[in-house]
Amino acid sequence: MAELKELLKKLAEAHGISGYEGEIRKILEAELEGYVDEIKVDRLGNLIATKRGKKPSVMIAAHIDEIGLMVKHIETASQYNIEYQLSVADGGNTDASIIHLTKSGIPTGVVSIPTRYIHTPVELLSLRDLDKCAELVARAIERVGDFF
């Protein structure tokens, strides 16, 4: 039981927001060694462990990512009637993606404004979305001390 508690503690303390599950993946790989015949990571970052045996086959699937900082300001957005969407973009990065992994206590955040036809001569965005995004950032900065 103590080993299980230690593993759960290690997993809970590891960084693993969506798209940056590497630390958790390494822990799971180490824990699975010796119990499975093959371990691989596909191009999407999925950890696939295979134990060969007789049929029937069983697949166990689980998420290893966690919700990141962006969720902490839902309350702020709701309080000021700022619409928001819970999602993580596929691709595109900023330095904030790495800074939060350093454990150096630097509050970081990434705000994305919905656009259409990105990286083309006719890229579009709603000025209302831009205004609301700026308001959310301002309100989040006012409350940053509540979270750190």
* 85 within a domain of the structure (yes/no): yes
Residue 11, pLDDT score: 83
Q: Which of 27-31, 40-44, 55-59 has the lowest mean pLDDT?
A: 55-59
Q: What pLDDT shows up at residue 28?
A: 92
Among 50-54, 72-76, 124-128, 141-145, the range scoring the smallest mean pLDDT is 72-76
Closest CA to 88 of 117, 103, 66, 104: 66
- Residue 74 and residue 44 in one domain: no
Answer yes or no: is 58 within a domain: no
Indicate whether 38 and 73 sit together in one domain.
no
Number of Cβ within a 10 Å radius of residue 39: 16
- Angle in degrees, CA 68, 74, 75, rounded to 5: 130
Q: How confident is the model at residue 8 (pLDDT cuts 50, 70, 90)?
A: confident
List residues bridging with 125 in a β-sheet. 115
Count: domains in the chain: 2
pLDDT of residue 29: 93
| Pair 140, 74 in one domain | yes
In tens, the pLDDT along 93-113 reads 555 655 656 555 566 666 777
Instruction: For residues 74 and 41, state if they share a domain.
Output: no
Mean pLDDT for all residues in the chain: 75
pLDDT at 69: 42
User: Is 56 within the bounds of a domain?
Assistant: no
Same domain, 73 and 25: no
Q: What is the pTM of this model?
A: 0.47
- Residue 106 included in any domain: yes
- How far is C-alpha 132 from the geometric centre of its chain's CA atoms? 23
Task: Give the domain range for residue 129.
Answer: 69-146
Helices 22-32 & 2-13 angle (0-180, nearest 10): 160
Distance CA 139, CA 28 (A): 38
Residue 60 covered by a domain: no
| 74, pLDDT greater than 70 | yes
